[in-house]
Amino acid sequence: MSTITPTTSSTRPTGVQGRIAFETDTKNIIVYDGADWRGYASDGVSGWSGSNTYSLNFDGTDDRLDAGSVVTPSANSGTISAWIKTTSTAYQAIVSTADTSGISTWGWMAVFNNKLRITFRESDGTIKTADGSTAINDGNWHHVVAVSSGTAYSLYVDGSAETLTNSNNDGTWFGDLTSLTSTNIGSHVRSSAGNFFSGNIDEVAVWDSALNSSQITNIYKGESNGGSGGTNGTPSNLLSFNPKAWWRMGDGAEANSGTIIYDMSTFSNNMTMVSSPAYQSDTP
């Protein structure tokens, strides 16, 4: 009986075309195609255990997650999805990618003025922003999504498109920026970390393409890609949507323990806790 070589996402073996390995941290099968590793997600037993039990609580002082690299750095369109719960009135980051050595470029999804915001800054100082219309700091869980089609932003709260207030809304996305260094959850990190999120964040995912409104509705309803059922406000398995990163905030390979939040897509964009985000059995 043959076995597949065990490895981890950070200690992959030397690539030989056709070589197959099993990542014990992500539970994914990876295959070397001669140029790069290709990942095949686990059957869902680890990626989706059938329930969403944990979220991460950020205390709003200095808690964050840091990928140490840029997630989807080349994307000229894309989607960011998360579930959040907050009562804070502060300007707070949900997901941010920035030049952490300074303030030259960034793109982040945030809560601003109690509403959802997507904003990007180009190296010449031009800022592109779209603000939503629904107050989301009411202490209830909300599903929030920011999309760039490549030419315009759109925002969704709880499955519905937001009425936008725009400033230079041209859909600028990470692939349009230079000098980006790292993606964070729960903080906007430029020359220093700031805009800390106060509350709970769960089931964060990123795509390098624009999801359509039907797909976003399905994510909000816990339905698979292309399905027509589901229940409002129910996170579920995102693998059928092919995310480029999916952090389950306690329900992934981390199993609500330790300081690494594993990317449960096939791309190994694992996040490291900075300070002390806490696992909580508080979920949408």
Partner 1 sequence: MRTYCIINSDEVESVDFNQVLQTSSDTLRYSVDGSQALLKYEGTQPSFLEGKTQYTHSEIIAILATDEWTSDEPI
Does residue number 119 form part of the binding site for partner 1 (CB under 8 A)? Answer: yes
12 Cβ contact list (under 8 Å, min separation 6): 21, 23, 30, 37
Instruction: Return the structure tokens found at 284.
Output: 């949408």
The closest of 62, 108, 57 to 85, measured between CA atoms, is 57
Does residue number 166 form part of the binding site for partner 1 (CB under 8 A)? Answer: no
Tokens 């409002």, located at residue:
232
Per CB under 8 A, the list member of 39, 44, 76, 91 interacting with partner 1 is 91
Per CB under 8 A, the list member of 4, 20, 68, 103 interacting with partner 1 is 103
Does residue number 233 form part of the binding site for partner 1 (CB under 8 A)? Answer: no
Does residue number 274 form part of the binding site for partner 1 (CB under 8 A)? Answer: yes
CB of 124 to partner 1, least distance (A): 13
Per CB under 8 A, the list member of 60, 150, 159, 175 interacting with partner 1 is 60
Q: Which residue lies nearer to partner 1 by CB, 99 or 203?
A: 99
Q: Which residue lies nearer to partner 1 by CB, 199 or 243?
A: 199
Binding segment for partner 1 (CB under 8 A), chosen from 25-33, 88-96, 131-139, 222-230, is 88-96
CB of 22 to partner 1, least distance (A): 30
Q: Which residue lies nearer to partner 1 by CB, 47 or 132?
A: 132
